[in-house]
Amino acid sequence: MVETNNLIIEEEGAKPLHHVDVPFERATFGMGCFWGIDSLFGATQGILRTRVGYSGGTTSNPVYKDLGDHTEVIEIHYDPKRISYSQLLELFWNNHEYGLCTKIKRQYASLIIYHTEEQKKIAEQSLELERENRAPEEITTEILPCDIFYPAEE
């Protein structure tokens, strides 16, 4: 057994399943319960890894039973040479109910958290396009700057 970049490889000379040294960018989305979206993004080509957790609020150290004003989110590390931020946003818009839970529960809000000004611009353009395409549906998706990501407890 060999350990390389925190990956354990069973056979000497075997290669890791994923490219661990690929430069990546981050994307963070709130799309309802984070377990379903973890499966969606985890199975998408160009996604290097995902983590679920909480973000978008002001409460310190949220946990599942006490989220405060945070939202369940997924943080995605992706290879921008294989999948674009715009393509991730297409998955975002097409795979959750972005107008249902947000008025009732902050926990499952529709949320785009941007990590760069370029992501903010692309997210705002995609929101405007969704509003045009889905009118008269109400879209309650928020776009917020990246702050602290709190990983979900095991």
Q: What pLDDT score was predicted for residue 10? A: 43
The token pair at 100 is: 């249902």
**Using only C-alpha atoms, what is the Rg of the chain?**
17
User: Which residues in 92-118 are b (16+ Cβ under 10 Å) and which e?
Assistant: bbeebebeebbeeebbbbbbbbbeeee
pLDDT in tens, 98-132: 765 445 578 888 999 999 999 999 999 999 999 99
Summary mean pLDDT of the chain: 85
Q: What pLDDT score was predicted for residue 92? A: 96
Phi-psi region of 132 (alpha: psi -120 to 50; beta: other; left: phi over 0): alpha
More confident residue, 121 or 137: 121
Catalytic annotation present for 101: no
More confident residue, 58 or 102: 58
Tell me the C-alpha distance between 142 and 111, whole Å.
5
Considering 7, 14, 20, 33, which one is annotated as catalytic? Answer: 33
Q: Average pLDDT in the 52-58 region?
A: 93
What is the pLDDT confidence band of residue 2, given thresholds at 50, 70 and 90?
very low
Domains of the chain with CATH codes: 22-151 (3.30.1060.10)
